Amino acid sequence: MSEQLVIQGETKQERYEALLPQIKSVVGEEPDLIANMANVAAMLHETFGFWWTGFYRVRDDVLLLGPFQGPMACTRIKKGRGVCGTAWQKGETQIVPDVDQFPGHIACSSASRSEIVVPVTMEGEIIGVLDIDSAELDTFDETDRRYLEQIVKMLP
Ligand code: SME
């Protein structure tokens, strides 16, 4: 695949549609999970210009910071804590239009205003989460959920 990411599209849906085959091609050539998480975070971040885009991996009884793009972040998150820990505990994508209204939100950065967290499942088990933060309110909706859930399924 080409080393350059070129994603065009007027709408969010068009940009996800253009991104999917590129992610598939990158991930399909590489069996290493960390390498793939790193590239997926970079590709999403570059395409949409989010504030923070990255993964946390389940390690024993915590979520441990994994590959990401953006400012430094909290290293360990307990089950049920914040948006990430809630997505892990419930096994469901969490869409938060306004992080100030989410009880227990962990503010790694005060610039973060809205957030989506998608569980990453392998062989029926949650092995991590994809966390995306936006510096604007109400950035994420069902379109993001649908495409991001497809994208995390591509990880090995
Ligand atoms: N805000 C998240 C913590 C992770 S950072 O935003 C990167 C949460 O409440 O789970």
| Mean pLDDT computed over every residue of the chain | 95
What are the C-alpha distances in Å from 4 to residues 10, 22, 87? 20, 10, 32
pLDDT, average across residues 118-146: 97
Strand, coil or helix: what is 64? Answer: strand
Q: Convert the pLDDT of each residue in 5-33 to its tens digit.
A: 877 788 999 999 999 999 999 999 899 99
Nearest atom, ligand 1, residue 83 CA: 10
DSSP letter at 50 equals: -
What are the C-alpha distances in Å from 18 to residues 9, 10, 13, 25, 59? 8, 11, 9, 12, 33
- Sequence ranges of the domains in the chain: 12-153
Look at residue 14 in the predicted model and tell me its pLDDT. 95
Strand, coil or helix: what is 4? Answer: coil
Distance 2 CA to ligand 1 centre (A): 32
Distance 24 CA to ligand 1 centre (A): 27
At residue 40, does pLDDT exceed 70? yes
- In short, whether 53's Cβ falls inside 6 Å of ligand 1 is no
CATH of 12-153, one of 3.50.50.60, 3.30.465.10, 3.30.1330.30, 3.30.450.40: 3.30.450.40
Helices (H), the chain: 12-28, 33-48, 82-90, 142-153
Pocket test for ligand 1, best of 68, 89, 96, 105 (most atoms within 8 A of CB): 105
Look at residue 4 in the predicted model and tell me its pLDDT. 75
- In short, whether 133's Cβ falls inside 6 Å of ligand 1 is yes
| Distance from C-alpha of 96 to C-alpha of 137, rounded to nearest angstrom | 9
